[in-house]
Amino acid sequence: MAGEMSKILIIGGTGYLGKFIVGASARSGHPTFALRFLPSEFGLDVDRIHAAEPASSVFALKAHIRRAIEAEGIPYTIVCCNCFAGYFLPTLAQPEPPKEKVTILGDGNPIGFRMIIGSI
């Protein structure tokens, strides 16, 4: 079995990072497979999170769906993927950074520095 390549399954193989992992695995000669799925948890396990509204209603619905799947005896795997922070950094978690106005509270000193970004 020496030299035999491992079969690799990459969950989220078409995602932000997964596409690069798939490429690297395939270039290394591994038989590589990608599982297409729609992530919705982003690091939050709805069975273990205590959130305020409106998030708690969304999480309660997801937990209800999980219980229904369990009650029917359907085999399942839940993957609580992490949210990759680099995805949001280019725009500071905004669809488009403000261009007209930036308000800095305080003197701009990095110790205790706070910044509110907004547009006119």
DSSP per-residue codes, 19-88: HHHHHHHHHTT--EEEE------TT--TTT----TTHHHHHHHHHHHHHHHHHHT-------PPP-GGGT
Determine the pLDDT at residue 92.
55
- Short-list 42, 46, 39, CA closest to 85: 42
Task: State how far the Cα of 117 lies from the Cα of 96, in Å rounded to an integer.
Answer: 11
- Write down the pLDDT at residue 118: 44
Q: What is the mean pLDDT of the chain?
A: 75
Q: What is the pLDDT of residues 10-40, one digit of tens each?
A: 888 887 788 898 999 999 999 998 887 766 6
Checking if the pLDDT of 53 tops 80, the result is yes
Name the 3-class secondary structure at 90.
helix
CB atoms within 10 A of CB 24: 13
Kindly list the domain boundaries of the chain, sorted by start residue: 1-37, 40-87, 90-120
Q: Note the pLDDT of residue 28.
A: 93
d(CA 21, CA 78) in angstroms, rounded, equals 21
Instruction: Indicate which residue of 7, 19, 62, 99 is catalytic.
Output: 62
Distances (CA, A) of 85 to 15, 17, 35, 50: 14, 12, 22, 22
Task: Check residue 117 and give its pLDDT.
Answer: 44
Please indicate whether residue 76 or residue 120 has the higher confidence score (pLDDT): 76
Distance CA(47)–CA(31), nearest Å, equals 35
**Taking 60 as the threshold, does the pLDDT of residue 103 lie above it?**
yes
Is 62 catalytic? The answer is yes
